[in-house]
Amino acid sequence: MSANRMVLDNQEAYLTGTEMELMERLLPLSDCRVLELGCGSARITRRLARAHPDCHFIATEVDSVQHEKNLGDTAGNISFRLEGAQSIGEPDQSVDVVLMLKSLHHVPGSVMPQAMSEVARVLKPGGIAYFSEPVYQGEFNALMSLIHDEKRVRELAFKTIQSLSERDDMELLGQYFLNVPGLYGSWESFESRFLNITHTKLKIDKPRYRQIKTAFMEHMGPRGAEFLKPHRIDLLRKRNIR
């Protein structure tokens, strides 16, 4: 898609595939330093680290419970740190790639602008910022909205990335819209991943729990519950300004 103007969604632009496939195509993953902000379990970063042993990955998380779990499952070229995106412990112009994979909308709105300033600060000239955010549409979003409606915070995250792209030292390379296949073999696996979380306090009473489970089970088939999960990827670059 054209890099001239950012849009929140583009129904005509969707491709089906995985984030790994897209990142391998878009990112300069060779002899580089990669920073993931709000890594959660760092599932994708762990896969990237295995595929690119010549790169060093730094993965940060604000949830101390998840951070302790990450420390118990380390890889040789990943460093885990307990810190927020608004205060990154990397020197100026020291990182080749910054990743935020469905994490920006979890950053408190009051510090989102500071987080973007930190992203711009740590990126090397020519460095890439890769933002992946869930799009507020589709069957999977309808299910997730029963757990926690993120419409407002996702819109705020979009506006924050848009503001970053308008800085003199940053430029928008493009936007990509991706339907990511999701398969959940059982209610228990879905519940473990999306309801039994520690980074957000969910207010789910018994009637709402039953409603969520019923909505999930409506999608169950022979292999499990299958979805296409819409994502928007915003790709920015740090300008080489002298």
Topology given in CATH for the domain delimited by 11-135+149-179+231-238: Rossmann fold (3.40.50)
Report the interhelical angle of 19-26 vs 43-51 (nearest 10°): 50
Instruction: Evaluate whether 57 touches 218 at the Cβ level (below 8 Å).
Output: no
Query: Structural domain boundaries of the chain?
Result: 11-135+149-179+231-238
Considering the entire predicted model, what is its pTM? Answer: 0.93
Backbone φ and ψ for 190, nearest 5 degrees, come out as -65, -45
**Sheet arrangement for strand 56-61:** 14-16, 170-184, 225-238, 123-134, 95-101, 33-37, 56-61, 78-82
pLDDT tens, per residue, the chain with 242 residues? 444 589 999 999 999 999 999 999 999 999 999 999 999 999 999 999 999 999 999 999 999 999 999 998 777 899 999 999 999 999 999 999 999 999 999 999 999 999 999 999 999 999 999 999 999 999 999 999 999 999 999 999 999 999 999 999 999 999 999 999 999 999 999 999 999 877 777 889 999 999 999 999 999 999 999 999 999 999 999 998 76
pLDDT at 1: 42
